[in-house]
Amino acid sequence: MIIVLKPGATQEQIDHIAERLSKVGLKHHVSKGSERTIIGVIGDDRILSAYPLEAVPGIEKVLPILKPYKLASRDFKPEKTTINIDNKVTIGGDTLVIIGGPCSVESEEQILSAAKAVKEAGAHILRGGAFKPRTSPYDFQGLGKEGLKYLASASQETGLPIITEVMDPREVDLVVQYASIIQIGARNMQNYSLLKEVGACKKPILLKRGLSATIKDLLMSAEYILSSGNPEVILCERGIRTFVEVTRNTLDISAVPVIKELSHLPIIVDPSHAGGNWKWVAPLSKASVAAGCDGLLIEVHPNPEEAYSDGEQSLTPTKFINLINELKPLVKLMGKII
Amino acid sequence: MIIVLKPGATQEQIDHIAERLSKVGLKHHVSKGSERTIIGVIGDDRILSAYPLEAVPGIEKVLPILKPYKLASRDFKPEKTTINIDNKVTIGGDTLVIIGGPCSVESEEQILSAAKAVKEAGAHILRGGAFKPRTSPYDFQGLGKEGLKYLASASQETGLPIITEVMDPREVDLVVQYASIIQIGARNMQNYSLLKEVGACKKPILLKRGLSATIKDLLMSAEYILSSGNPEVILCERGIRTFVEVTRNTLDISAVPVIKELSHLPIIVDPSHAGGNWKWVAPLSKASVAAGCDGLLIEVHPNPEEAYSDGEQSLTPTKFINLINELKPLVKLMGKII
Amino acid sequence: MIIVLKPGATQEQIDHIAERLSKVGLKHHVSKGSERTIIGVIGDDRILSAYPLEAVPGIEKVLPILKPYKLASRDFKPEKTTINIDNKVTIGGDTLVIIGGPCSVESEEQILSAAKAVKEAGAHILRGGAFKPRTSPYDFQGLGKEGLKYLASASQETGLPIITEVMDPREVDLVVQYASIIQIGARNMQNYSLLKEVGACKKPILLKRGLSATIKDLLMSAEYILSSGNPEVILCERGIRTFVEVTRNTLDISAVPVIKELSHLPIIVDPSHAGGNWKWVAPLSKASVAAGCDGLLIEVHPNPEEAYSDGEQSLTPTKFINLINELKPLVKLMGKII
Amino acid sequence: MIIVLKPGATQEQIDHIAERLSKVGLKHHVSKGSERTIIGVIGDDRILSAYPLEAVPGIEKVLPILKPYKLASRDFKPEKTTINIDNKVTIGGDTLVIIGGPCSVESEEQILSAAKAVKEAGAHILRGGAFKPRTSPYDFQGLGKEGLKYLASASQETGLPIITEVMDPREVDLVVQYASIIQIGARNMQNYSLLKEVGACKKPILLKRGLSATIKDLLMSAEYILSSGNPEVILCERGIRTFVEVTRNTLDISAVPVIKELSHLPIIVDPSHAGGNWKWVAPLSKASVAAGCDGLLIEVHPNPEEAYSDGEQSLTPTKFINLINELKPLVKLMGKII
């Protein structure tokens, strides 16, 4: 950490800072420049995060040198993390993992029909929401436990592992019984009670980036899960909120290579929520694969017009099959398999 | 709702849309213009929110006419909502309500000392966090139940009502026993499980705007609480995330008059989190009062340098007293009392 | 255009609005709903853009139906625009056009060396700035006319057409003599004097999207050039400003398919400015090609460490050649040639 | 400047960096920490801005210590700049300067009528655009030279100094003959040719913040004017572009105290463009005064409904007079006069 002093900072102020650093066991080095004096802090200064140095008189700004996340960083674990799902598919390895299915589980028939279509297209994992975070309290809130049961029978029928969202720490125990992967939605990315709860369970977690989360924020939320004892975290870029008006969100495609450099965790992309319209799903999927992502999370509905939620961004089974077929040579070109 | 068709939409497509509208009991009116055909939907089309019209062939875009929130709107309730706190102060009325106190409860002495300072300055309510949402899992997470007890004794000693944050639906019952106002933090603004839980309790709720929440989003989250049966919601503007680099967040000062026009709910401002540094608290507080807010939520710490969290944005008791004194004539000028 | 009235709008207000519409030759249709009265405007209501309807009493909001740009839209010209550059390459057709070269022309040797490297790698066009828009007045501002001459000899030597930026309407005549394509930089996207000036010249224009420009804004700026008489406009996505902290800007990859749907103009991507670091150029280039762009604009410098500007985001010639080679099979897969 | 090395940076890389620093006359100090080696650069490292250190192998990031602007900073000139306008009013001093008038000059009668109303209300300066930057090429582009003449006669009649915008470096000489203050619009904040041109003239410049400009960007643009020889720069906050949907832009109210701390230049606020609707002008004006601004730039039109531009955000003369009257006691409270 580098502490930059204000012009005119007094020796008394410098001594006071030095004393604070010594108190927590950190050494330092004072360097007087022509326009500013700076203090270099020596040692693992992450322990200073609890101390508001910027409240100390004489300090202009504090520049961190080290990253605030540790377990999630490449510095800590240089080799890539791979996550095995039910001995059926591995995320973060050679396979470009395709997760498909409807936004919400609406009925036993609907999810089974979706599961068969998704399976036929060659996808690896079935998605479907039983607990739904909806902006409006008047919108469909999901079938709850019944939805989980329908997911389970669709899984049994097709052999596809299941990913489904959990919104409430009280429902983690229930969801764990049905899901192969637990999803944390974008709006809950900084719901720390929930992160700690899923950090204590034994299932892989797919953590969606929040609408206004920086890369650092996303990795800090992953750190919550990792530091609670669960090493299996899959990150998911799903678009951020900007001033752009045509698409629902703005897919931050750079997040794919950036996260691959900063972290060892797998990174997948959700082109359905990023674009907000089925029209953009194909080009955004291709872009994501070309940028090097580990997988795609795509909304597929047997009949999007009748969907209870997110119909406008769902692919029909036919469009989904076509997309997977178009992706295959691209995936191969990227040195992966589908 | 107005449905704008694509150029070249067919009669068959128009008939299909008409049929869908009829199915849910809505009338419509087709109007063929020179470049676009539009369909006006007649009746309360909010029931269409569950139907993804944009997935229907031939539709270019859908323009909503009505606001998606109802209970939170001025259309629904023209007169302003006032919220009585422990028969001591009313929020949303003639008093500019001042809430002060530390970010975190750190010890019995610290919160008592803060409470006394805040009381002496003329503030109405004491704030202090027992459960803390922290970006890093390695940062201080709050004293929990012990912190609530310390708050309770500080309240008893000073007579100040208490506001404190709840992060987990499982902790609502506990927090309700100690707090006069329950705070929902910015990161939990769309934690719908938590919103429903506090919507079912009998205490006023202070709902902080999320970092990337639009005004509509904020009012929709208020709608969750209101529609769960709790009519006492206080909205709080605390800065949004933008590209601006000097301040921690960007205070959206316009939100004050905008919310006063769109909603009957009281709106208060948190200048401490908006600016992220104690230096900006005074000017932002004055701006907020001048813009017409109903109150201020300000971080005050007996010794900011030693604070476990947010020290850089906390006022010392002396600075807080000075600020309140500077605010008094301004508040009076705005036709309010402090 | 749809005019939504406030609840309680009077008949007198409706009549007043009707009269205003009649004055400019527009018909209308009043529709009284249960909660709002709306007025549908019939005819080409773009003439209303000069009339501030939202200032008229009784109006809550105005919803446009038609797009504000005309010449730039697919509605106006359904077939894609192709732009021939010096009979050497066509932008917007089957070729994925590669434009490479340094940010700034620094010397005759430097630009010649860059031109040869770019040519050898298989690029089609040479870029290089003689007039440089720099955030700081103390930074290198470009060699001006001398730089243009160096570009010309590099072009003669290698046969590569040249693209270079113009910043000042007084310099358009000069730059036109040297460049095959005139570049308008992001900061000048809404410099309307400059847009009109290049709209009056006979050279293709590459128009870069501004840092906070919406898709509509970009197309409106293209409309300035098109309506000034120059039909050859190439659009360029180069990243927008968001809160994301790791990359210099956020590449809005969705802009590629969105612009292809809304407009007939070619769209190319500048991954160097979008990411701001050479590390991200390869993945962002691949993503852009996979998303369907018509070309790439990439910074290449013989010796990035010594570059007067943008060195950190420039590829070395070797890295550039490797990238082009990696792109070739991907371009082929997308049905294009390089 | 602090250079942070990558983990595993070699001695050879360190030597290479040291050599580069020596070449430009800078000393340095290497400090090896437990996880990172850092190099502190000693001397005025602003000369390094032309050298892309981040392109040098082994460097992870570069942390600037000094601000990139000099003439605009408080470090350089601690006392506040005051700017005398025609010996009639001083900006940056004890007067809260009110600038009022229409967006566009539309006719001799219109601007004269506006000028009289503005004068009567007690404003100090008349605004009115003769050259108009409009998003659409089909919108009213201003009356040009004729508009300047109308402004001049309105000024003669009322004695009010004039501020008007210049968009093109070729028009600076003309505008200088008529205006007492030259306005640079938000879209031209980084039009460096224009900045240099007005930097060479002898009139005060009002520089509007760009829609996505950081505080640093704004001060760097001011630096262009200052370093071209013109010391009289007035900064203007007029709202930034964010995701907020109700207001046209988001007024960054914090910019007022922040700029007062970082710079000696006066800062005024334009609440009309920030909010985009006359309804928000009064609360935003009050907030700006309370935050400490040096003046307000407000759109006033004799008949907003008939305005050629920005009618929805213009005050009528009556509303303007009422606003000024409401502001008077607030201005007094802030220790200023109106």
A interface test, pick of D243, D245, D258 with most A CB neighbours within 10 Å? D243
Residue C25 near chain B (CB below 8 Å): no
Indicate if the pLDDT at residue C140 is higher than 90: no
Per-residue confidence at C63, pLDDT binned at 50, 70, 90?
A: confident
- Which pLDDT score, from 0 to 100, does residue D336 have? 97
Indicate if the pLDDT at residue A73 is higher than 90: yes
Per-residue confidence at B306, pLDDT binned at 50, 70, 90?
A: confident
8 A C-beta contact, residue B263 and residue B231: no
Residue A310 near chain B (CB below 8 Å): yes
Residue in chain C closest to D141 (alpha carbons) equals C192
- Which pLDDT score, from 0 to 100, does residue C307 have? 85
Min mean pLDDT across A171-185, B58-72, B227-241, C229-243 is at B58-72
What percent of chain C shows pLDDT beyond 70? Answer: 99
- Which pLDDT score, from 0 to 100, does residue A79 have? 97
Indicate if the pLDDT at residue A89 is higher than 80: yes
Query: Cβ separation of B244 and D329 shorter than 8 Å?
Result: no
Query: Cβ separation of D133 and C190 shorter than 8 Å?
Result: yes
Question: What is the rounded distance in angstroms from the CA atom of residue C150 to the CA atom of residue C106?
Answer: 9
From chain C, the residues in CB contact with B66 under 8 A are 35-36
8 A C-beta contact, residue A26 and residue D28: no
Q: What dihedral do alpha carbons D262, D264, D265, D270 form, nearest 10°?
A: 50
8 A C-beta contact, residue D60 and residue D36: yes
Residue C211 near chain D (CB below 8 Å): yes
In the numeric block, the tokens 């040519």 are attached to C119
Query: Cβ separation of C55 and D136 shorter than 8 Å?
Result: no
Query: Cβ separation of A138 and B227 shorter than 8 Å?
Result: yes
Indicate if the pLDDT at residue C54 is higher than 80: no
- Which pLDDT score, from 0 to 100, does residue B64 have? 83
Residue C244 near chain B (CB below 8 Å): no
* Beta-carbon contacts of residue A253 (< 8 Å; ≥ 6 apart): A237, A287, A288, A291, C251, C253, C284, C287
D interface test, pick of C51, C73, C135, C194 with most D CB neighbours within 10 Å? C135
CATH for A2-63 (3.30.70.1140, 3.40.50.720, 3.40.228.10, 3.40.50.150): 3.30.70.1140
- Which pLDDT score, from 0 to 100, does residue A66 have? 81
Indicate if the pLDDT at residue A54 is higher than 80: no
Each residue's pLDDT tens digit, B115-126: 999 999 999 999
Q: Report in angstroms the alpha-carbon separations of C52 from B182, D245, D302, D310.
A: 44, 19, 14, 7
CA distance C44 to chain D (A): 13
Query: Cβ separation of C52 and D228 shorter than 8 Å?
Result: no
- Which pLDDT score, from 0 to 100, does residue A167 have? 97
Residue in chain B closest to A218 (alpha carbons) equals B135
Residue C223 near chain D (CB below 8 Å): yes
Each residue's pLDDT tens digit, B4-56: 898 889 999 999 999 888 888 888 888 887 778 888 888 777 777 666 777 88
D interface test, pick of A36, A63, A240 with most D CB neighbours within 10 Å? A63
- Which pLDDT score, from 0 to 100, does residue C215 have? 97
Indicate if the pLDDT at residue A49 is higher than 80: no
Residue D138 near chain C (CB below 8 Å): yes
Question: What is the rounded distance in angstroms from the CA atom of residue C149 to the CA atom of residue A112?
Answer: 68
Q: Across residues C195-209, what is the average pLDDT?
A: 97
Residue C114 near chain A (CB below 8 Å): no
In the numeric block, the tokens 């039009």 are attached to D191
- Which pLDDT score, from 0 to 100, does residue C273 have? 97
Min mean pLDDT across C57-71, C271-285, C310-324 is at C57-71
- Which pLDDT score, from 0 to 100, does residue A34 have? 73
- Which pLDDT score, from 0 to 100, does residue B242 have? 97
Query: Cβ separation of D192 and C305 shorter than 8 Å?
Result: no
Q: Report in angstroms the alpha-carbon separations of B36 from A176, B29, B63, B173.
A: 50, 14, 14, 55
- Which pLDDT score, from 0 to 100, does residue A50 have? 64
- Which pLDDT score, from 0 to 100, does residue D297 have? 98
The fourth-level CATH superfamily of domain A83-333 is: Aldolase class I (3.20.20.70)
Residue C60 near chain D (CB below 8 Å): no
Work out the number of other CB atoms within 10 angstroms of the CB of residue D229: 11
What type of residue is B154?
Answer: A
Closest to D251 (Cβ–Cβ): which among B215, B253, B262? B253
What type of residue is C198?
Answer: V
Average pLDDT score over chain C: 94
User: Using the 8-state DSSP alphabet, how is residue B209 labeled?
Assistant: P
User: Is residue A171 helix, strand or coil?
Assistant: helix
- Which pLDDT score, from 0 to 100, does residue B50 have? 65
Each residue's pLDDT tens digit, A225-275: 999 999 999 999 999 999 999 999 999 999 999 999 999 999 999 999 999
Work out the number of other CB atoms within 10 angstroms of the CB of residue B116: 17
Per-residue confidence at D50, pLDDT binned at 50, 70, 90?
A: low
From chain D, the residues in CB contact with B245 under 8 A are 214-216
- Residue A77: phi and psi, rounded to 5, are -135, 95
Q: Across residues D106-112, what is the average pLDDT?
A: 96
Residue in chain B closest to D334 (alpha carbons) equals B330
Min mean pLDDT across B322-331, C243-252, C299-308 is at C299-308
Mark which residues 271-300 of D lie under 8 Å from C by CB. 277-278
Each residue's pLDDT tens digit, C145-193: 999 999 999 999 999 999 999 999 999 999 999 999 999 999 999 999 9
Residue A50 near chain B (CB below 8 Å): yes
Indicate if the pLDDT at residue D24 is higher than 90: no
Residue B40 near chain C (CB below 8 Å): yes
For residue B205 the two structure tokens come to 């709720």
Min mean pLDDT across C238-242, D246-250, D303-307 is at D303-307
Residue C52 near chain D (CB below 8 Å): yes
Distance of CA C228 to the CA centre of its chain: 17
For residue D263 the two structure tokens come to 């710079």
What percent of chain B shows pLDDT beyond 70? Answer: 99
Per-domain residue ranges of chain D: 2-63, 83-333
A interface test, pick of B62, B135, B318 with most A CB neighbours within 10 Å? B135
- Which pLDDT score, from 0 to 100, does residue A56 have? 84
Residue A236 near chain C (CB below 8 Å): no
Closest to B65 (Cβ–Cβ): which among C29, C36, C241? C36
Indicate if the pLDDT at residue A310 is higher than 90: no
Residue in chain B closest to C241 (alpha carbons) equals B243
Query: Cβ separation of B212 and A217 shorter than 8 Å?
Result: no
Indicate if the pLDDT at residue A95 is higher than 90: yes
D interface test, pick of B63, B217, B244 with most D CB neighbours within 10 Å? B244
> What HEC string does C259-287 produce?
HHHHECCCEEECHHHHHCCHHHHHHHHHH
From chain A, the residues in CB contact with C252 under 8 A are 242, 244, 250-251
Query: Cβ separation of D245 and B291 shorter than 8 Å?
Result: no
Query: Cβ separation of A2 and D2 shorter than 8 Å?
Result: yes
Indicate if the pLDDT at residue A328 is higher than 90: yes
Each residue's pLDDT tens digit, A172-230: 999 999 999 999 999 999 999 999 999 999 999 999 999 999 999 999 999 999 999 99
Q: Across residues A68-82, what is the average pLDDT?
A: 95
- DSSP per residue, B74-123: TTT--SPP-EEETTTEEETSSB-EEEEE-SB---HHHHHHHHHHHHHHT-
CA distance D13 to chain A (A): 19
Closest to D192 (Cβ–Cβ): which among C54, C167, C227? C167
Question: What is the rounded distance in angstroms from the CA atom of residue B48 to the CA atom of residue D119?
Answer: 53
Each residue's pLDDT tens digit, D275-290: 999 999 999 999 999 9
Indicate if the pLDDT at residue C49 is higher than 90: no
Closest to B254 (Cβ–Cβ): which among D250, D286, D333? D250
- Which pLDDT score, from 0 to 100, does residue D31 have? 84
